[in-house]
Amino acid sequence: MNLQTIDMAHVSLRELNTTLQKPDDATRVSGWEVINSKGSHAIAVGLDAPIDVTIKGSTGYYCAGMNKQATIRVKGSAGPGVAENMMSGTVIIDGDASQYAGATGHGGLLVIKGNASSRCGISMKGIDIVVHGNIGHMSAFMAQSGNLVVLGDAGDALGDSLYEARLFVRGKVKSLGADCMEKEMRPEHIAILKDLLARSGADAKPEDFKRYGSARQLYNFHIDNASNY
Amino acid sequence: MCGIVGLFIKDPSLRPELGSMLTDMLITMSDRGPDSAGIAIYGVDTDNRTKITVQSNTPEVEFAGLDSDLGDAIGGAVSMRIKDTHAVLEMSDDIAAAAREALAEIRPSLRIMSAGDIIEIYKEVGLPKDVAARFQLSQMGGSHGIGHTRMATESAVTTMGAHPFSTGPDQCLVHNGSLSNHNSLRRKLIRNGMVFETDNDSEVAAAYLTDKMRQGCNLGEAMEASLQDLDGFFTFVIGTKAGFGVLRDPIACKPAVMAETAQYVAFGSEYRALVNLPGIDAARVWEPEPATVYFWEH
């Protein structure tokens, strides 16, 4: 296996991202290892090849942003906006994730093995997010499509102004946001959940989760709903 | 955007390193606040002595003979340590109040940065690394300290607009965010007898907490009350003689990371600020919860 190491103590962030973004370089090596990340921002952003990148430490803002195809692992915790606007591929965080993890993501799978902070999956548009721990307040705000799976608890105002994303929570939900409601768990939801739990290495039974979705009362402005927005 | 760093030393053997650790953390946060920087250091408590830290735009003129002039004016001994534009005046507690009054008479253009048993505040306009070098922050020891790098949003880029703000003895506050009801709150606090140096929103938060504590609240109660009365975005780190507190507003969009080991409790606006601390790889690292009061005391 041709594993290449990039040491951020000696290589600039721009050089790191340029290297990982080059398709010919990407195909020459099977995997990349990034060391001395030290909480730096914007590590491994804009990748667009089926490569494997492991960051051996914690990251700052916007790690793995706009990812396409790549598999990116963080052997630590991730700062705000991890995997923001991901299109495809897989991002796995071994530790915790800060605010707005997976925000606006269109596709791919984001796995957070620790806890995620506030606004996890805000405005998600097709991404799948699996959080092994808890999530903070205002998660899945205005989420449009995709699946958010939480093995722990959810904070205040889950799924506020939700569109058609599916939210699955095994633990307690502190409160539901406007227009978010608990819904029946049908066989097709069990199947989706089973697949996501297996792909994210989560040891949990789909039957233990509750599903939350949009009550579809706030899609279009209606004057009688003014106080609900 | 602003940067905040804070360090509360638990292991006394690390106390001499407080300044150097905080300086490294502060400089790492330069991207978040290149306008100005400041630091509050809680040093050694000498019995029955008060420290008053003053700032001057013309230190060579105003600090000349200041210790003897002030001593003569109040009839007591005053010592002085000059650091660039700041000077720390020390005197016995019983003449400290008279010293503050006398300073306004003999050097009316001096600004008082802080006063108390152990606090010293240094702040100036400029890049954090330059501000740190001017005051030799890295050589200061102490039990705890708070630093701030400022990107101004609510008031002018001036020395007095830099953080930390100190509105009570041994108290200080640094702020990342912006308050929307600071003008009305300032008017109320002025009616309660608080005095303001700037139009800055963060100074209002500092004065709010001082006012609550004057009314008998402890710091924890004052911080709880502020969640009801302050409208806006904030992550605060607040210093007192005994320790430091952390508070985020209920929305909590202003970043905050904390780390704790057997040796220290550290605060950073970003994890980057904490990466060079000893034992950070094994530290408990977490994000403080919104609308939750955290406090550590010696």
Task: Write out pLDDT tens, residues A137-173.
Answer: 999 999 999 999 999 999 999 999 999 999 999 999 9
Taking an 8 Å Cβ-Cβ cutoff, which residues of chain B contact chain A? 252-253, 255, 257, 270-275, 285-287, 290
Q: How far apart are CA A195 and CA A183, in angstroms?
A: 20
Which residues are registered as beta bridge partners of A214? A180
Mean pLDDT of chain B: 96
Taking an 8 Å Cβ-Cβ cutoff, which residues of chain A contact chain B? 38-41, 58, 60-61, 77, 79-80, 95-96, 98-99, 117-118, 136-137
Please, what is the Cα angle at B14 between B10 and B17, to 5 degrees?
130
CA–CA distances in Å: residue B72 to residues B68, B75, B79, B95: 6, 5, 12, 12
Q: How far apart are CA A55 and CA A35, in angstroms?
A: 6
CATH no. for residue B80?
3.30.70.980
Share of chain B above pLDDT 90, in %: 95
Instruction: Map tokens 């703000």 to a residue.
Output: B165
Instruction: Decide which of B117, B136, B153 is a domain's last residue.
Output: B117
What pTM was estimated for this model as a whole? 0.94
For an interface test with B, which of A43, A99, A100, A135 has the most B Cβ atoms less than 10 Å from its Cβ? Answer: A99
Interchain proximity B275–A38, CB inside 8 Å: yes
Strand B2-9 with B119-125, pairing: unpaired
* Cα of A20 to nearest chain B Cα, Å: 22
Give, as one character, the DSSP assignment of residue B297: E
For an interface test with A, which of B272, B276, B280 has the most A Cβ atoms less than 10 Å from its Cβ? Answer: B272
Instruction: Say yes or no: B234 and B148 in one domain.
Output: yes
Q: How far apart are CA B128 and CA B165, in angstroms?
A: 17
Domain membership of residue B269 (yes or no) is: yes
Instruction: Decide which of B62, B89, B117 is a domain's last residue.
Output: B117
Superfamily grouping for domain A3-217: Glutamate synthase, alpha subunit, C-terminal domain (2.160.20.60)
Domain membership of residue B123 (yes or no) is: no
CB within 8 Å of A227: residues ≥ 6 apart: none
Instruction: Decide which of B67, B89, B117 is a domain's last residue.
Output: B117
Residues in chain A closer than 8 A to B287 (CB atoms): 96, 98, 117
Give, as one character, the DSSP assignment of residue A59: B
Residues in chain A closer than 8 A to B274 (CB atoms): 39
Domain membership of residue B122 (yes or no) is: no
CB within 8 Å of B271: residues ≥ 6 apart: A39, A58, A60, A77, A79, B257, B285
* CA count, 13 A, side-chain hemisphere, B150: 29
Digitized pLDDT (tens) for each residue of chain B, 298 residues in all:
899 999 999 999 999 999 999 999 999 999 999 999 999 999 988 889 999 999 999 999 999 999 999 999 999 999 999 999 999 999 999 999 999 999 999 999 999 999 999 999 999 999 999 999 999 999 999 999 999 999 988 788 999 999 999 999 999 999 999 999 999 999 999 999 999 999 999 999 999 999 999 999 999 999 999 999 999 999 999 999 998 999 999 999 999 999 999 999 999 999 999 999 999 999 999 999 999 999 999 8
Interchain proximity B274–A39, CB inside 8 Å: yes
Instruction: Say yes or no: B141 and B26 in one domain.
Output: yes
* Cα of B111 to nearest chain A Cα, Å: 38
Q: What pLDDT, on the 0 to 100 scale, is given for residue A25?
A: 60
* Surface-to-core class of residue B284, CB atoms within 10 Å of its CB (0-12 exposed, 13-18 middle, 19+ buried): exposed
Mind spelling out the 3-state secondary structure of A118-162? Answer: CCCCCCCEEEEEEECCCECCCCCCCCCEEEEEECCCECCCECCCC
Instruction: Say yes or no: B101 and B237 in one domain.
Output: no
From B4, B3, B5, B10, select the one nearest B260 (Cα to Cα). Answer: B10
Please, what is the Cα angle at B18 between B15 and B22, to 5 degrees?
165
Instruction: Say yes or no: B15 and B86 in one domain.
Output: no
Query: Cis omega before residue B164 (within 30°)?
Result: yes
From A64, A187, A181, A188, select the one nearest A129 (Cα to Cα). Answer: A64
Cβ contact A119:A99 at 8 Å:
yes
Count of beta carbons in the 10 Å neighbourhood of residue A12: 9
Instruction: Say yes or no: B55 and B37 in one domain.
Output: no
Domain membership of residue B208 (yes or no) is: yes
For an interface test with B, which of A117, A153, A156, A160 has the most B Cβ atoms less than 10 Å from its Cβ? Answer: A117
Q: What pLDDT, on the 0 to 100 scale, is given for residue B126?
A: 97
As averages over each run of 10 residues, the pLDDT of chain A (229 residues) reads: 89 96 70 96 96 96 98 98 98 98 98 98 98 98 98 98 97 97 98 98 97 91 77
* Cα of A135 to nearest chain B Cα, Å: 11
Q: What pLDDT, on the 0 to 100 scale, is given for residue A27?
A: 62
Instruction: Say yes or no: B101 and B165 in one domain.
Output: no
Which of A39, A95, A98 is the closest to B275 by Cβ? A39
Domain membership of residue B203 (yes or no) is: yes
Residues in chain B closer than 8 A to A60 (CB atoms): 270-272
* Cα of B80 to nearest chain A Cα, Å: 41
Cβ contact B140:B40 at 8 Å:
no
CB within 8 Å of B29: residues ≥ 6 apart: B3, B4, B5, B128, B147, B149, B268, B269, B270, B272, B273
Domain membership of residue B191 (yes or no) is: yes
For an interface test with B, which of A38, A59, A93, A156 has the most B Cβ atoms less than 10 Å from its Cβ? Answer: A38
Residues in chain B closer than 8 A to A122 (CB atoms): none
Cβ contact A160:A173 at 8 Å:
no
Instruction: Say yes or no: B205 and B140 in one domain.
Output: yes
Interchain proximity B272–A39, CB inside 8 Å: yes
Interchain proximity A80–B255, CB inside 8 Å: yes
Instruction: Say yes or no: B28 and B94 in one domain.
Output: no
Instruction: Say yes or no: B178 and B243 in one domain.
Output: yes
List the domain range (segments joined by +) for residue B145: 2-45+128-297
Instruction: Say yes or no: B148 and B271 in one domain.
Output: yes
* Cα of B50 to nearest chain A Cα, Å: 40
Q: What pLDDT, on the 0 to 100 scale, is given for residue B44?
A: 84
Domain membership of residue B190 (yes or no) is: yes
Instruction: Say yes or no: B200 and B93 in one domain.
Output: no
Interchain proximity A61–B270, CB inside 8 Å: yes
Q: How far apart are CA B184 and CA B76, in angstroms?
A: 41
Q: What pLDDT, on the 0 to 100 scale, is given for residue A28?
A: 66
Which of A40, A80, A136 is the closest to B272 by Cβ? A40
Q: What pLDDT, on the 0 to 100 scale, is given for residue B201?
A: 94
CATH no. for residue B270?
3.60.20.10
Of B2, B172, B217, B253, which residue is the catalytic one? B2
Active site residue B217: no
Instruction: Say yes or no: B86 and B176 in one domain.
Output: no
Number of domains in chain B: 2
Q: How far apart are CA B34 and CA B189, in angstroms?
A: 31
Residues in chain A closer than 8 A to B275 (CB atoms): 38-39, 58
Residues in chain B closer than 8 A to A95 (CB atoms): 285
